[in-house]
Structure 1
Amino acid sequence: MVDEIILTQPDDWHVHLRDGAQLATTVPSSARSFGRAIVMPNLNPPVTTTPSALAYRTRILQHVPPSRVFEPLMTLYLTETTTGHEIERAAAGAISGVKLYPATATTHSEAGVSDWRCCDEALACMQEQGLPLLIHGEAITPGIDIFDREAVFLERELEPLLQRYPRLKIVLEHITTAAAVEFVRQAPPRLAATITAHHLLLNRNDLLLGGLRPHYYCLPVLKRERDREALLEAASSGSPKFFLGTDSAPHARSAKENASGCAGIFTAPAALELYTEAFEQAGCLSRLEGFASHFGADFYGLPRNPNTIRLRRESWSLPATYPYGQDVVIPLRATSALRWRLIC
């Protein structure tokens, strides 16, 4: 039995850090494990310009603990009015990607895209500039079952998008289904996918059986057990098309535990330990480093981190809550025993 693992410093290729006072909790939680993170732009109002993204980056950096090296990689929020000029400015201004939210698909996506064909100028410019498109892959047409929205998106939206922009790099973020795994595998190398720890460890029974568990509610929603198994097989397969993206998405306890609870799971405080647990479940601990530390950097064309971290087999527990502005946030697996612990 392996009791200690040494990994190249991992990166998080999809995280929500929020803003304001909440950064005091979210930034140290992510910087604890990760050297870099792709930061989502769905603030309120959304981050739609390069200057606003760089200003947000400055606010994030103010909360990085002195003992940590953590680089936020900034993104823009794609709207139907995003111009080619803004994309050129982003490419020249150290922006790492542009996020496509289907309008109303998830938290603060109201300003998102109803028809990506309205974004032709921006998408064509991204293709020319080599700026990746990061997609929340769910169809938003009324009447589509919430458990089918990802599969429908692949056929109706993503396939035509790949054909229309044959050189555009795309990350299909937080995939949740066996259908998405197969789609990514069959697609050209310019399409990759991130996978969350919670979708590797949980299925919709965890959300619904024995009572509704609001802190397991996320979008895309947890799927069937066969989908979880397909995700775990993909993540641990050694394929460079799949890499780590936590989609850690905190909401205040009061916003989760009410009649219309917000979607999002706060995994950052133990994200790497949760991934390690999933890979151990798959019997593939030796493949964790590629998924967590190598493949995302390679896809984004960035150097792999030069330093390393260590995980030890050790039982420990997260606190019940973390401060979150004027409220608190509850992490995934709060107070429950974890089997692995980051020690440096």
Structure 2
Amino acid sequence: METLTLTRPDDWHLHLRDGEVLKAVLPHTVRQFARAIVMPNLKPPVRTVAEAAAYRDRILAAIPAGQQFEPLMTLYLTDNTRPEEIVTAREAQFVKAVKYYPAGATTNSDAGVTDIGKCDRVFEAMEQADMPLLLHGEVTDPAVDIFDREKVFIEKHLIPLKQRFPQLRVVLEHITTSEAVDYVLATDRTAATITPQHLLYSRNALFQGGLRPHYFCLPILKRETHRQAILRAATSGNPKFFLGTDSAPHSRHSKESACGCAGCFSALHALELYAEAFESVNALDKLEAFASFYGPDFYQLPRNRDRITLSKTTWRIPDQLPFVDDGLVPLRAGEALTWKALLN
């Protein structure tokens, strides 16, 4: 196969940040994706519909001239979120989901939920409004091993949550374990996003020839057996699993430091990375649905109508990209890819 033409995909989990960072990274997403679910973990976070509207305006203003892109906004769930805000969000229409971060779980999550049980009134309102809940599915208990935090979250928090609110639509974000795959398959009104790094790499990539900070993300890469389970899920043709890059920009110096930030930047070449993963198991025929159909179907949005073509072309990922006052190192910088998106 020398070319592969797909319905233009969407990214159902994306970090754009704000200000000059937003202006630097947004063009990479716009070149490949028609829409994206935009994460709300700014400083301060996007907690209300009014804040989401203002952030949306800043994103729209940063879209390169002549390009089309629709940001799909989310609200940041806190201990103090009011059920009335969910009603306002549903009426606003441009807010598509509410994001749950356990306090302290990842980048800019300090304002996150301290006890998920405190949010039941909000979850009840979300269930009634049919507003999806997006979960960073990890516990933050320091006694729990970092490689077990997703599994424990499912057992301790997610299973009871869905028992209390069985009609709540849930997306378990950036899944990393076979336990997450099994849970999503077994549970109604539940889906999952999958990142390119979790499809392509096990935790060995973090330590290949030394410490590799640009492969450090949260949830952290897991064992090869878990990677294989994620890859099987993504390429299975099951509509519960769809594309979400979790592309997260951090400057080179904030990654290559004594306490480096978590996140992989893949917006530059996300579709090519997914194509490589699907090709590795002879499943390129399943890529279009994973990338372009299952996400909008879950979010009850129309599928895109324009197309994008990938060519079988070897090219080298840049060592770094221009980024505010520093460099931005993309995932797998300096290495070769064998698919190339042909973009307008």
**Is this a same-fold pair by TM over 0.5?**
yes
**SS at structure 2 position matched to 1:96:** strand
Cα displacement string for residues 82-138 of structure 1 (whole angstroms, at most 9, x for unaligned residues): 001111111111200000001111011111112111111211111111110000000
Question: Amino acid of the residue matched to residue 234 of structure 2?
Answer: A
Cα displacement string for residues 225-283 of structure 1 (whole angstroms, at most 9, x for unaligned residues): 01111101100000000000000011111100010000000000000000000000011
Per the alignment, residue 7 of structure 2 pairs with 8
Per the alignment, residue 52 of structure 1 pairs with 51
Partners of 1:127 and 1:167 within 8 A in 2: yes
**SS at structure 2 position matched to 1:10:** coil
Per the alignment, residue 307 of structure 1 pairs with 306
Partners of 1:25 and 1:322 within 8 A in 2: no
Aligned residues: 342
**SS at structure 2 position matched to 1:219:** coil
Per the alignment, residue 79 of structure 2 pairs with 80
Alignment root-mean-square deviation, CA:
0.9
Per the alignment, residue 140 of structure 1 pairs with 140
Normalised to the residue count of structure 1, the TM-score between the two structures is 0.98
Normalised to the residue count of structure 2, the TM-score between the two structures is 0.98
Per the alignment, residue 267 of structure 1 pairs with 266
1:122 aligns with 2:111: no
Q: Distance in 1 between matches of 2:230 and 2:87?
A: 35
Q: Distance in 2 between matches of 1:68 and 1:270?
A: 18
Partners of 1:7 and 1:310 within 8 A in 2: yes
Quote the offset at 1:316 in angstroms. 1.1
**SS at structure 2 position matched to 1:181:** helix
Q: Distance in 2 between matches of 1:56 and 1:14?
A: 16
Per the alignment, residue 169 of structure 1 pairs with 169
Give unmatched runs, 5+ long, in structure 1.
none
Per the alignment, residue 296 of structure 1 pairs with 295
Q: Distance in 1 between matches of 2:238 and 2:324?
A: 39
279-288 vs 203-212, greater mean Cα deviation: 203-212
Q: Distance in 2 between matches of 1:62 and 1:318?
A: 28
Quote the offset at 1:309 in angstroms. 0.6
Question: Amino acid of the residue matched to residue 264 of structure 1?
Answer: G
Q: Distance in 2 between matches of 1:247 and 1:74?
A: 15
Per the alignment, residue 240 of structure 1 pairs with 239
Give unmatched runs, 5+ long, in structure 2.
none
Q: Percent identity?
A: 56
Q: Distance in 1 between matches of 2:125 and 2:290?
A: 30
Quote the offset at 1:209 in angstroms. 3.4
Question: Amino acid of the residue matched to residue 124 of structure 1?
Answer: E
Quote the offset at 1:66 in angstroms. 2.3
Would you identify which runs of 4 or more consecutive aligned residues in structure 1 move more than 6 Å? none
Cα displacement string for residues 127-177 of structure 1 (whole angstroms, at most 9, x for unaligned residues): 111110000000112200000000011111000000111111000000001
1:276 aligns with 2:275: yes
**SS at structure 2 position matched to 1:167:** coil
Question: Amino acid of the residue matched to residue 146 of structure 1?
Answer: I
Q: Distance in 2 between matches of 1:324 and 1:50?
A: 29
**SS at structure 2 position matched to 1:161:** helix
Partners of 1:6 and 1:308 within 8 A in 2: yes
Q: Distance in 1 between matches of 2:204 and 2:332?
A: 16
Question: Amino acid of the residue matched to residue 319 of structure 1?
Answer: P
Q: Distance in 2 between matches of 1:314 and 1:255?
A: 32
Per the alignment, residue 286 of structure 2 pairs with 287
Per the alignment, residue 149 of structure 2 pairs with 149
1:92 aligns with 2:130: no
**SS at structure 2 position matched to 1:134:** strand
Question: Amino acid of the residue matched to residue 156 of structure 1?
Answer: K
Per the alignment, residue 107 of structure 1 pairs with 107
Question: Amino acid of the residue matched to residue 11 of structure 1?
Answer: D
